[in-house]
């Protein structure tokens, strides 16, 4: 997407961009390495990158956690995680090379001795593996630990590289739980790291289909002329999951679906769908346009009518009876946490004035699907009999983020026969059919970008703070008014969500 190093010669730069993007000498330190994310996503992503030849031969992985492990124990944990979750086939020689660069540092975050050991470990890796002093610190830990970890990195001389070498901080969500806490966290992180050294993860931006939103919009002529209030009736952004909260009660309860997903993933999808064309694809140009559109987002005045929250009750999913949220392990039986949220947003600018953007997300819904549906207005005039167009809906352009990645266009077509009956049909593009290349996992892409110092796909602190600013009034409203409506697991959410759209004369898609 962007030039990592510009030669100053546009033709050379264009050629460079087609070369595989391979990380230079470097290493990754993961705090919170015993967590689920690390095992299911980060460790496999590192292996997959190595397997694809995108990491340097001396790449090193350091785990930091409160465990009584030797380096070999850590390597074994990574090995098991890779075997279970990696995307690419296991190859012994790739594994061996990677395993030689694995180290483990036992300790808690306020333990000076552990950070001295970490420093010694990094120095040793620079000598034995040629990591060149280039290290990224991945904070896969709850935000309450950020201040301690970053100040320890500073105190022990780990946050600044020497000479040409770099140090970067990678920060997992949740980045705060409201605007105030996000600002405080940003201040803490920026005391130690420069803005260009901080990489905030929103793994949705690492997904191929999400990056494709910009390709589809700005590499073609067909769509953009229609992509505005003159033709678009409304936009629906859906992220539905069939899973419950699994073992994440500690994180999820009190946070809920809107903070977990709307504040980050869905507002980023909205920004990419609604923003103006950036002047280039470098991080600054993208941020400028995303921020501009996020700044134009307006909440409806009557939050009670235009937002909905729900909580799953017991129900049936995939032929099995599943428990309700309040019966999940570790959940307070009186919890008011939302597991479903829907909001209507408007965008106050010339392109989108009057076009609602409906966002919804939920756990234990009918099926797992994330999509962006741009729904068009009906034709201004119909020369056909009303009876012939009964099965004609509104045209739609649907970006299928996952699963079944691709794009669907829905439009009306004549039904074969002697009458002029018109019915909706779809035209599909599916990744699997059009490309032989397989899609990397989001975390593969994002970890590689961190090592390359490429910040395009990482939200900057201004976007994060603006997103909280959008969400905060909704959460405050919910806090003061009632509790979430229960919906049976396996359905499409609370009835109030259907009513919310019905009041606008619309209905949710059933993807």
Report the catalytic residues: 265
- Nearest approach, Cβ of 229 to ligand BG6 (angstroms)? 30
| Residues from 482 through 501 that contact ligand BG6 (CB under 6 A) | none
Contact pick of 48, 197, 208, 241 for ligand BG6 (by CB under 6 A): 241
User: Is residue 371 close enough to count as binding ligand BG6 by CB under 6 A?
Assistant: no
Q: For ligand BG6, give the closer residue by CB, 131 or 211.
A: 211
> What gap in Å lies between CA 30 and CA 139, rounded to an integer?
6
H or E element that contains 359: strand 357-362
Q: Rounded to the nearest 10 degrees, what angle do helices 146-155 and 112-129 cross at? A: 60
Q: For ligand BG6, give the closer residue by CB, 207 or 306.
A: 207
Query: What are the CB-based long-range contacts (under 8 Å, 24+) for 288-294?
Result: 290/459, 290/463, 291/460, 291/462, 291/463, 291/466, 293/347, 293/349, 294/267, 294/270, 294/463, 294/466, 294/467, 294/470
- Nearest approach, Cβ of 406 to ligand BG6 (angstroms)? 16
Coil, strand or helix: which one is 109? coil
> What gap in Å lies between CA 125 and CA 292, rounded to an integer?
43
Query: 101: Cβ–Cβ under 8 A, 6 or more apart, which residues?
Result: 27, 58, 59, 60, 61, 125, 129
Annotated binding site: 66, 173, 203, 207, 241, 260, 363
Is the separation of the CB atoms in 293 and 350 below 8 Å? no
Contact pick of 48, 126, 208, 260 for ligand BG6 (by CB under 6 A): 260
Provide the mask over 48-87, with x wherever binding to ligand BG6 is found by CB under 6 A and - wherever it is not. ----------------------------------------
H or E element that contains 258: none
Query: What are the CB-based long-range contacts (under 8 Å, 24+) for 322-327?
Result: 322/244, 322/364, 322/489, 322/490, 323/244, 324/486, 324/489, 325/244, 325/245, 325/363, 325/364
- Nearest approach, Cβ of 206 to ligand BG6 (angstroms)? 9
> What gap in Å lies between CA 27 and CA 131, rounded to an integer?
6
Spacing of C-alpha 150 from chain mean position: 23
Q: Which residue is nearest to ligand BG6 (CB)?
A: 260
Q: For ligand BG6, give the closer residue by CB, 241 or 328.
A: 241
Q: For ligand BG6, give the closer residue by CB, 260 or 421.
A: 260
**Residue whose structure tokens are 């106050």:** 348
Query: What is the total count of residues that contact ligand BG6 (CB under 6 A)?
Result: 5
- Nearest approach, Cβ of 261 to ligand BG6 (angstroms)? 6
Q: Is the backbone peptide bond immediately before 174 cis, with ω within 30 degrees of 0?
A: yes
Q: For ligand BG6, give the closer residue by CB, 153 or 237.
A: 237
> What gap in Å lies between CA 232 and CA 396, rounded to an integer?
9
Instruction: Report the chain's terminal Cα–Cα distance, integer Å.
Output: 31
- Nearest approach, Cβ of 255 to ligand BG6 (angstroms)? 9
* 154 φ/ψ angles, rounded to the nearest 5 degrees: -65, -50
Annotated binding site for substrate: 203, 207, 241, 260, 363
> What gap in Å lies between CA 345 and CA 175, rounded to an integer?
22
Burial label for 333, CB within 10 Å (0-12, 13-18, 19+), is exposed
- Please count the CA atoms within 13 angstroms of the CA of 359 that sit on its side-chain side: 26
Complete DSSP assignment for 315-330: EEETTEEE--GGGSTT
Q: For ligand BG6, give the closer residue by CB, 232 or 261.
A: 261
- Nearest approach, Cβ of 38 to ligand BG6 (angstroms)? 14
Output the six-digit token pair for 260.
């977990």
Q: For ligand BG6, give the closer residue by CB, 347 or 450.
A: 450
- Nearest approach, Cβ of 238 to ligand BG6 (angstroms)? 11
- Nearest approach, Cβ of 272 to ligand BG6 (angstroms)? 16
Q: For ligand BG6, give the closer residue by CB, 246 or 473.
A: 246
Q: For ligand BG6, give the closer residue by CB, 200 or 203.
A: 203
| Residues from 153 through 212 that contact ligand BG6 (CB under 6 A) | 203
Annotated binding site for NADP(+): 66, 173
Return residues touching ligand BG6 (CB under 6 A): 203, 241, 260-261, 370
């Amino acid at each position: 997407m962007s030039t990592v190093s510009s030669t100053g010669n546009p033709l050379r730069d264009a050629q460079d961009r087609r070369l595989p993007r391979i990380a230079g000498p470097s290493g990754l330190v993961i705090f919170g390495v015993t967590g689920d994310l690390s095992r299911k996503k980060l460790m496999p992503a590192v292996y997959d990158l190595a397997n694809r030849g995108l990491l340097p031969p001396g790449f090193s992985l350091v785990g930091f956690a409160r465990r009584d492990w030797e380096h070999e124990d850590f390597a074994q944990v990574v090995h098991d995680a890779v075997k279970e979750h990696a995307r690419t086939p296991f190859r012994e020689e790739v594994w061996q090379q990677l395993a030689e660069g694995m180290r483990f540092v036992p300790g808690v975050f306020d333990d000076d001795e552990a950070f001295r050991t970490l420093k010694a470990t990094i120095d040793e890796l620079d000598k034995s593996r040629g990591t060149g002093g280039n290290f990224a610190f991945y904070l896969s830990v709850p935000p309450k630990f950020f201040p301690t970890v970053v100040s320890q990195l500073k105190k022990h001389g780990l946050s600044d590289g020497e000479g040409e070498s770099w140090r970067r901080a990678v920060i997992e969500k949740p980045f705060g739980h409201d605007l105030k806490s996000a600002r405080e966290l940003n201040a803490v992180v920026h005391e130690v790291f420069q803005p260009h050294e901080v990489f905030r993860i929103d793994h949705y931006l690492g997904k191929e289909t999400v990056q494709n939103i910009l390709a589809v919009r700005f590499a073609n002529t067909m769509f953009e002329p229609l992509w505005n209030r003159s033709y678009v009736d409304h936009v629906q952004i859906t992220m539905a999951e069939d899973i419950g909260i699994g073992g994440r009660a500690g994180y999820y309860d009190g946070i809920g679906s809107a903070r977990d997903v709307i504040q980050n993933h869905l507002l980023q999808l909205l920004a990419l769908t609604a923003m103006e064309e950036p002047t280039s694809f470098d991080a600054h140009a993208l941020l400028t346009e995303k921020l501009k559109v996020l700044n134009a987002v307006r909440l409806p005045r009557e939050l009670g009518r235009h937002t909905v929250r729900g909580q799953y009750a017991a129900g049936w999913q995939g032929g099995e009876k599943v428990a309700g949220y309040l019966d999940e392990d570790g959940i307070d039986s009186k919890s008011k946490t939302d597991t479903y949220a829907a909001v209507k947003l408007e965008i106050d600018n010339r392109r989108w004035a009057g076009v609602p953007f409906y966002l919804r997300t939920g756990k234990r819904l009918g099926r797992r699907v994330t999509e962006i549906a741009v729904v068009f207005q009906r034709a201004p005039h119909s020369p056909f009999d009303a009876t012939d167009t009964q099965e004609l809906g509104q045209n739609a352009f649907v970006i299928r983020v996952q699963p079944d990645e691709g794009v669907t266009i829905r439009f009306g077509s004549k039904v074969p026969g002697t009458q002029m009956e018109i019915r909706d049909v779809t035209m599909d593009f599916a990744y699997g059919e059009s490309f032989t290349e397989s899609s990397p996992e989001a975390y593969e892409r994002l970890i590689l970008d961190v090592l390359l110092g490429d910040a395009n796909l990482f939200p900057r602190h201004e976007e994060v703070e603006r997103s909280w600013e959008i969400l905060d009034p909704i959460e405050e409203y919910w806090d003061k008014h009632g509790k979430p409506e229960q919906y049976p697991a396996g359905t499409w959410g609370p009835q109030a969500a259907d009513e919310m759209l019905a009041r606008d004369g619309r209905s949710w898609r059933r993807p």
